[in-house]
Amino acid sequence: MSIHPEIEKRRTFAIVSHPDAGKTTITEKFLWYGNVIREAGHVRAKANRSYTVSDWMKIEQQRGISVSSSVLNFPFEGCQFNLVDTPGHQDFCEDTYRALTAVDAALVLIDSVNGVEKQTIKLMEVCRMRHTPIITFINKMDLDGRNVLDLLDEIENVLQIKVSPFTLPIGCGKLFKGVYSIAENTFHTFNKEEGKQEILKMTGADDPRLLEICGENWTKEFREQYDMVTGAMEPFDRDKYLKGEMCPVFFGSAVNNFGVRQLLNAFTKLAPPPMIRETDIRFVDPNEPNFSAFIFKIQANMDPKHRDRTAFLRICSGSFTRGEKVFHCRSGREIRLAAPTAFLAKDKEVIDHAWAGDIVGINDPGLFHIGDTLTNGEKFNFTGIPDFAPEFFARVTLLNPLKSKQMNKGLQELSEEGATQLYQPVKSPVPVIGVVGELQFDVLQFRLSAEYGAEVALDRMPSFGIRWVVGPEADVEAFVSEYALDCMQDKEGRTVCLFPNEYRLNLAVKNYEKLQFELTSNR
């Protein structure tokens, strides 16, 4: 099947990085290259983030961090990019993980000084699970960073992916001279003033001009690294890249807009257009004429002036036109997509037409759940959109008792957004919430109060971990009656058990051989 040009030019990706690696800075440069913003100014200090392009919630501005993911679209060199932002704080929420289910590729951003950091490792686990193709950018080469070969080695070992450097830096910190493109045999000279950066054609790594420009020591070190990379490392293999087994590596400095264009160019050439996706009955090709999509994120009250809920759709096949009716597979209902929107951070723009690979927002009348599939009429469900086991738990107590209706509505809606999980204990009427990152407790308390008028106290519950209890019905029932104090139901009515310690979990595994105790729940 030949691929439709509109679909072929889509590149839907996310940035995987640890806070402070430069994600906001590089995003702004991308938008600048896409002519979406006129000035790619310097990223403001965190405390003054009120006008950061991708922040839209009040709490984000108060905290000076980004806690909700947004979607940005920009064109570049004939491609249409959809960048799904992953919240950048070290405290995770499920949104961060789930954003990765909506993309076809990822950019891993690494700080040259700090190397591979904790949040990158966690997010890479999701990429590995999904075999997401990865391109790596090592940022902040203008600082005194770590040794290049050590960094490459760390990526291979810690992130468990083969590296294939497309460029190599010469010098670093104050003596950073530029990057050498192995594939093109060019030398890109570094200068903080972008206008003074040059791309020079070289005859090879042994071109004598390198010596003139970079000096003897740096050139010698570079040539050794070059020989090592080209002689001893496995050559780049695009199939391996597409399977998430090998990643091209680029070096640069986002804040100096150095190496960013080359990175985007590589993305247009290497990153895949929308790929085939699996459902519970068959594989769906993006080029099929029939529309299909799934919901990977729901966000309430994006616009404080209107109480609204937006569901974010990832289109997987075909295209759709504004006003078209689609089939909601879980409820069996037909719904009209009256005002689908594309997003540019705070600005929403109603769109008339969208294609496979695009991410659009639709108004959610309270019907949608994360993971829901929409089609042209065929009944199937996209798979592989997991629920991740939360790590922190709290009982929710209402402080102003007249607001119980508001609290329940808030808890329900915020859990449908996916940032918090809501559980109903078998033996108690007091709801329990679970979150992947502790910051979500503050976000929940703040939003329940600001958006629903319900003040709550959160009583933290020390625990070892939660597991979905799966197996024959009779065994699940027997388990629930023995472990009644620890058992709860999730929003889909599935049984979960909050184990207070590892011993209790091991005992359950031993005594209930027919049951599985699962860490993620796949729909």
Look at residues 495, 405, 391 and name the one whose alpha carbon lies nearest to residue 433. Answer: 391
CB under 6 A: which stretch of 18-26, 122-130, 306-314, 407-415 binds ligand G4P?
Answer: 18-26
Q: Is 23 in the site for ligand G4P (CB under 6 A)?
A: yes
Please list, in sequence order, all residues whose beta carbon lies within 8 angstroms of the beta carbon of residue 122, skipping any fewer than 6 positions away. Answer: 92
Q: Which of residues 37-96 bind ligand G4P (CB under 6 A)?
A: 42-46, 88
Look at residues 345, 254, 190 and name the one whose alpha carbon lies nearest to residue 43. Answer: 254
**Beta carbon nearer to ligand G4P, 49 or 523:** 49
Window 230-259: contact mask with ligand G4P (x via CB under 6 A): -----------------------xxxx---
Among 14, 21, 419, 435, binds ligand G4P (CB under 6 A): 21
CB under 6 A: which stretch of 2-10, 19-27, 445-453, 506-514 binds ligand G4P?
Answer: 19-27
Q: Is 164 in the site for ligand G4P (CB under 6 A)?
A: no
Number of residues that bind ligand G4P (CB under 6 A): 22
CB under 6 A: which stretch of 20-28, 380-388, 483-491, 509-517 binds ligand G4P?
Answer: 20-28
Q: What is the DSSP string of 388-417?
A: EPPSEEEEEEESSGGGHHHHHHHHHHHHHH
Q: Is 140 in the site for ligand G4P (CB under 6 A)?
A: yes
- Name the pairing type of β-strands 79-84 and 105-111: unpaired
Helix axes 404-417, 439-452, angle to 10 degrees: 130
Query: How many CB atoms are located within 10 Å of the residue 393 CB?
Result: 22
Find the shortest distance in angstroms from Cβ 436 to ligand G4P: 19
Q: Which of residues 272-291 bind ligand G4P (CB under 6 A)?
A: none
Find the shortest distance in angstroms from Cβ 391 to ligand G4P: 22
**Rounded-to-integer distance, Cα 225 and Cα 215, Å:** 16
Q: Is 136 in the site for ligand G4P (CB under 6 A)?
A: no
Find the shortest distance in angstroms from Cβ 20 to ligand G4P: 4
Q: Is 335 in the site for ligand G4P (CB under 6 A)?
A: no
CB under 6 A: which stretch of 140-148, 180-188, 355-363, 427-435 binds ligand G4P?
Answer: 140-148
**C-beta separation of 99 from 296 below 8 A:** yes
What is the chain's alpha carbon radius of gyration, rounded to the nearest angstrom? 25
**Rounded-to-integer distance, Cα 261 and Cα 281, Å:** 41
**C-beta separation of 296 from 101 below 8 A:** yes
Binding site for ligand G4P (CB under 6 A): 17, 19-25, 42-46, 88, 139-140, 142-143, 253-256
